[in-house]
Structure 1
Amino acid sequence: MKILNISIDKDILKRDSAVAQRMVWFGGVVDKYTIIVPCDEKKEVALSDSVFSLGSGGKNKIMQFFTMFRLVQQLLKKEKYSVITTQDPYFTGLLGVLLAKKNDVGVEVQVHGWNKETFFRNALRNWTIRHANGVRVVSKRMKQKVQDLGVTAEKITVVPIYTDVQVQKDSTKKMAPGKRRFITVSRLVPVKNIVLQLHAFAGLGKELDWSLDIVGDGPEKDMLEKKVKELGLEEYVSFLGWCDGQDLVRVYNSADCLLLTSNSEGWGRVIIEAGSYGVPTIMTDVGLAGEVVKNEENGIVVAINNTSALRSAIERVILDSDYLQKLSAGIVETVRYLPTKKYVLEKYVDGWKKAIT
């Protein structure tokens, strides 16, 4: 089986990047795996003996769209691919469906979540999903949304995002009464709704002892910093910027609770990462909520954009150390028994087989 992946992640062109290393896994389950990525410079990078990433070339997005179209067309004429798989149902989905129909190749459209919903984007998304031979989603929640568009369950494959983490023997946090350290690890963009956290904390009683470290960067950073000052939270909230490697390990090891307050989320890999260190999550009802995070068993799930519900959950975590200890133990056990890489790769192959015409 040969797979042609149309992606938008430029890091795939960097051999040492985490996403490039994930692409190499696919070389172990198919004969050939080729990834096309839009970028300014035309290039080819061999990630392994059977996995190759190609940069399209093109000065802007419009030029890159047409250069990617020509590049994929050339590859399909040169050799027979079993399936085209696209990273999303938008830009790459349109390319994949058009080229698959033109060349009589199966096409799988991946759906990680609904992003930046506008009339045009929704129409494009719905069209590509309905014209795909197969649809891959990351959760049962997303499967239902795709079925609501009229796609039959038989065409949909649910593949959870594999997170390569190891649970340490003593990962469960020892939660004693005292100051609670909350963290957010996220891009600072509108859909993550981090301002909701600030409003929730601003309403807490002054007698409560807590801190919030915001790990990440993005276009909303200036706005969030101003909001912290406006709400008088400078003493409690810190912006750490992006952290990785041992810096991120130190963040998780010193944290008591993760916050994820997105309005929309495909999955939520950070919850798994934090959970492997015994850090439970208070999260909105998005992504893996209900499938991985079970309310009051290994985390807390609150309604989207509900300040009072979020504040109540935060307050309980601060005041009830036994409850927080239970959530920590619960998420450690959940992460310990998540699907293996072997299982996830087998599910990828199942999805590609569904898409073969």
Structure 2
Amino acid sequence: MKIFNFSLDQNLLNQESAVSQRLVSLGQITERYLIMVPTRFDRSLDLSDKVSVLGVGGKIKIQILIRIFIQAYKILKQDHYDLITVQDTYFLALVAWILERRFKLPLEIQVHGFERFRLIRKILARFLLARATGVRVVSQRLKEQLITEFKIPAEKISTISVVNDFKCDEMAPLIPREESEFIFLTVARLVKVKNIEAELRVLAKLKLDYPQVRLWLVGDGPERQNLDQTVADLGLQNMVKFWGQRSDLASFYRSADTLVLFSKSEGWGLVVLEAGLCGLPVIMSDVGCADEVVKDRRSGLVVPVGDGLALEQALRQILTDESLRTRLAQNLSYELSRLPDRKQSLELQRQTWSKLILSK
């Protein structure tokens, strides 16, 4: 089968990125897998003999979307593809739907969560999801949301979680730290949906009782300047360290004491799985893989979204209870061992696409 994929992930244009490595494996179940990505400048990249990425550039978003439509139209007119899949529920998905109508191909919409879900985006998502041939989600939570809030029939939805190929290098060097310090670690893009400002405000409440606490922030993004200001306003300069974007994540997971993910929304939450593979206990908000992998008080501590008081209580508890940290980390490791592996995930994806192609 030949698959045409629209994606928003510009990391696909980096052959060494984790997402590029994951998608290379799709060549095992396809004859051809072409990915089109909006970017700043035109660029093409062959990830393998079957998997290619085409970056379509422009100065403004509407220009990029128009160019994506034109280039995709030309490709689909010249060559036969069996299915269109799109990793978006808004404007890029609209382009995919128009092409699906023109070329009478099945359309799969991938849902990894809903960011900035308001106004025209909300209208587009409801319109397009109802008209997709099939919808793929990465968690049972998202499936239930689509059924209850969007009235999508359960039989149209396939649940295929993102397979984590992360390997925790036990020989990765440790990050220098004081032995007396307790390190909370957050690995995330510095964007509003990650709710890091709220996490900092909770951390400030621990300052007097636990002066040994530190927070390491690994990642970068548009909120960096605002977060720097928040750190200064709260007097947390000695407690918080920004590390920027890093590739040596195993070193950070091995050096920290607990991972914290206080997001407002997550499709799955790969950093949670990565931390668990390195033996780190996890505190997270009730999003993504919470309840499926991270089960409250069994394989992690799960707090309601945006509940600062609950997060403070969880931080205090994990700080003072070493046996709890050990038990949560061990149970998380067990839950991770039960997840589908790469081979199982690929077979499920192949079956899903084959079913959609036959249904059109």
Q: Report TM bin, short chain.
A: over 0.9
Shift of 1:200: 1.5
Amino acid at match of 2:74: Q
**Residue 341 of structure 1 aligns with which residue?**
342
Distance 1:8 1:342 in 2: 25
Shift of 1:252: 1.0
- Corresponding residue of 1:82: 82
Q: Is 2:245 the partner of 1:242?
A: yes
Asked if structure 1 preserves the Cα contact closer than 8 Å seen for 2:166 and 2:274, the reply is yes
Q: Mean Cα displacement is larger for which, 3-12 or 134-143?
A: 3-12
Q: Secondary structure at the match of 2:28?
A: coil
- Equivalence for 1:28: 28
Count residues in correspondence.
Answer: 350
Match of 1:60 in 2: 60
Fraction of identical pairs, as percent: 39
2:308 aligned with 1:318, yes or no? no
- SS state of the match for residue 27, structure 1? helix
**RMSD over equivalenced CA pairs, Å:** 2.0
Q: Deviations over 1:43-81 (max 9, x none)?
A: 433222211222334443222212211222222222221
Aligned residue runs from structure 1 range 88-167, under 5 A: 88-148=88-148, 149-166=150-167
SS of structure 1 residue aligned to 2:352: helix
Cα deviation per residue 1:304-354 (whole Å; 9 max; x = unaligned)? 111111111000111111111111111222223321011111222233234
Shift of 1:205: 6.5
Amino acid at match of 1:197: E
For structure 2, the residue ranges without an aligned partner over 5 or more in a row are 172-178
Query: Which of 322-331 and 38-47 deviates more?
Result: 38-47
Change (3 A) 1:40 1:328: closer
Measure how far apart 1:41 and its partner are. 3.9
SS at match of 1:20: helix
Alignment of 1:275 onto 2:276: yes
Return the offset for 1:167: 5.8
Per-residue deviation at 1:269? Answer: 0.4
39-48 vs 261-270, which moves further: 39-48
Q: Distance in 1 between the 2:44 and 2:313 partners?
A: 52
- In 2, the alpha carbon distance for the partners of 1:205 and 1:63 equals 49
Matched, 1:303 2:304: yes
Q: Distance in 2 between matches of 1:280 and 1:272?
A: 10
Q: Kindly indicate whether structure 1 or structure 2 has the higher relative contact order, using CA contacts under 8 Å at least 6 residues apart.
A: 1
- Out of 74-83 and 186-195, give the one that drifted further: 74-83
Q: Distance in 1 between matches of 2:228 and 2:40?
A: 34
Aligned mates of 1:43, 1:347 — CA distance in 2: 31
SS at 2:241 equivalent:
strand
Distance, in Å, in 1 between the alignment partners of 2:187 and 2:206 is 22
Bigger drift between 310-319 and 216-225 goes to: 216-225
Aligned residue for 1:304, secondary structure, equals coil
Give me the whole-angstrom Cα distance separating, in 1, the residues matched to 2:170 and 2:42: 47
Mean CA deviation greater in 104-113 or 190-199: 190-199
The one-letter code sitting in structure 1 at the alignment partner of 2:46 is: A
Contact 1:4 1:83 in 2 (8 A): yes
Name the aligned partner's letter for residue 229 of structure 1. A
Asked if the contact 1:195–1:224 (Cα under 8 Å) also holds between the matched residues in 2, the reply is: yes
